[in-house]
Amino acid sequence: MQDLSVFSCVYEKKSVILQRKIERANYYANFIYCIEGMIDVKKIWLTDAAVWIETADGRQACEQFDNYASLRNASDKERQAYTRSPFGLHWPALDEDLSFEGFFASKEKNTYRATHAVA
């Protein structure tokens, strides 16, 4: 009679290998989903009040600096010091990130500031 521990060991190794293949497949599926969902931004510019983007298909959108304390309180020089990734903008010195997707997301009106205004 053969030792069953040998078969058990082989089964466990194959199970681990299969699990790793599944994890890898899920990783690549998520990566492809992210790439397909990326917004192709062709132009970025700043005004006194907002950061604007324009996509390859001509859509334009902005994010108001007033909606982000770090950007609202930043100098023009600090606002200009952003880096761009395929997914959005990052201000390292301000620790602020804005995703391109968020520029086009529907926004809820910030009623807290209006009802709790500081005199």
Rounded average pLDDT over 52-59 = 93
More confident residue, 49 or 13: 49
Token readout for 20 is 């790793």
More confident residue, 27 or 51: 51
Tell me: the pLDDT tens digits for 72-107? 999 999 999 999 998 999 999 999 999 999 998 877
Dihedrals phi, psi of 36, to nearest 5 degrees = -65, -30
Rounded average pLDDT over 21-38 = 56
